[in-house]
Amino acid sequence: MALRKVRISKAKIAMLQLRSAIQLFNKREYVSSITLAGAADEILSQLAFKNRGHNTLGGEKYFWDSFASMYNKPQPSKDKIRRLNNRIKNNLKHHDANADLHVEADFEFEAQSLIDSAIRNYWIAFDSAPKDRIVTNYVNWQWT
């Protein structure tokens, strides 16, 4: 049996993951939607940073810095914000020896947050909305 290698760009992989994440979200299969949306978001976040020098994390940092200033609190690091944003996704993907045996979260909210972040990172990376029917329908349904 011969192997059939296929070459796929990271942007295409991210779009396949994002599309599947949205389809799972629409079926209320939030746990699997979270892991796929998170994978897409990681790729698109890096592409946004590479192509434009920033990604959604920069906007979130600005928001939390402003919020911290209003309450005279220390500003969180980008790393802390990233860890908090990815906490549920990482709990779903990994199990350490001393980890809890259950994950408690608003899975619908987490899935939607990661899908939205991936779409925003795509827009930053490529300066346009994703040209995909499933993604467009999701945006029209959720954002309008």
Q: What is the pLDDT of residues 135-144, one digit of tens each?
A: 999 999 887 7
In tens, the pLDDT along 22-31 reads: 999 999 999 9
User: Which ranges constitute the DSSP H helices of the chain?
Assistant: 10-26, 30-52, 56-70, 78-93, 107-126, 133-142
Q: What is the pTM of this model?
A: 0.88
